[in-house]
Amino acid sequence: MTRSSRALGRALIGAVGLWAVGCLSGLSLDELPQQPLAVLYREPQEARERADALRDRDPEAQRAAKARHKFGVAEVDALRRQATNLLGGAPEESDEHAGRLALLDPRTGEVRLVEGARRGASPLDWSPDHQRLLFTQLDGAYLQLFEYDQANGTVRQVSRGPEVHPRGCYGPDGRIVMMTVGAEGSEVVTRIVVRAPGGVPPERLGEGTRDHSPACAPDGGSIAWVSSPERGLPELWARTPALTGVPRRLSPGRFPSFSPDGEWIVYSAPIAGGWKLWRIRPDGTGRAPVGDGVLEELHPSVAPDGLHVAYVVEDGYRPVLYVRRLDGSGDRILFNDGDGDRPVW
């Protein structure tokens, strides 16, 4: 079956095969909340083709890619390319293994495509009522923010150029917190801004010029983001209160995700054994590991019940979706019938 026929002929993909294998430590699917996870989904054949393509790259390119991934630079490199496009460079070719935005039922494994989203669209954040999904996709040559409304199945555009807006989240009082990519002279800059309703000019969140990956507390109390220095590891920052607080450096780390009550930020922290799930309070206290896994743990997303966290493990060029209790127990594979990447719960 061709990729085009798959895209045109399918609206619902059933759960089959390897769904929820590898149950460890007694975590039952029945205890998971029913709200769907938004994921970047690749069906099994596309996932295998992508893994084979990555594996077939020359060893030097593979080592370079893994080094960038390990130290959190790959995302910044991608943003540099987007900024090059913004300044008049040739747009990149689309990735033939880009995947589709989809909603995954955590209990049954059912995958439902978001038909209004383009290939390569990636989820970012659910609204506090879990009815609207903020995601990013290409608008022409550049990434912009879009919103999917579950109730009526519609998609609307949230941000526009000339700046690129590849990341964002739902802030307090109807605001959208956005990452912007632009240029100042010969320098590429990435910043976090807060956009209020009604056409009010956006407000800068911090003074950094390499800030990215904002995360918003569902209760509206805090905003977190990542700053990638020229040298060294990415750093987690937060501001509490969200709109008036002083930015605070919390810890080396990336991929922040708030608990529903805003009390915790779960993130990937660099330790001797690689990137692992940790949690910390927005004021910098209470830093502790979430479990004692031995794999690379990326893209955490805390469940709406505040008791579980989904995350991704890179396994042989394949992202495998896991779930764990927030107290560190009950680890298990949640989905690997195809790729379920970059979960947003």
**Res. 204 pLDDT band, cuts 50 70 90:** confident
Average pLDDT, the chain: 84
**Res. 3 pLDDT band, cuts 50 70 90:** very low
Q: What angle do CA 310, 312, 315 make, to 5 degrees?
A: 145
In angstroms, rounded to a whole number, what is the distance separating the alpha carbons of residues 192 and 178?
6
Mean pLDDT, to the nearest integer, of 53-59? 75
pLDDT at 61: 53
Instruction: Answer whether CATH 2.120.10.30 is correct for domain 3-344.
Output: yes
Tokens in use for 135? 């995601």
Min mean pLDDT across 128-132, 219-223, 313-317, 329-333 is at 313-317
Q: What angle do CA 282, 279, 166 make, to 5 degrees?
A: 70
- Which one has a higher pLDDT value, 292 or 18? 292
Residue pLDDT, tens place only, 135-186:
999 998 889 999 999 999 999 999 998 888 999 999 999 999 999 988 777 7
**Res. 1 pLDDT band, cuts 50 70 90:** very low
pTM for the full model?
A: 0.84
**Res. 269 pLDDT band, cuts 50 70 90:** very high
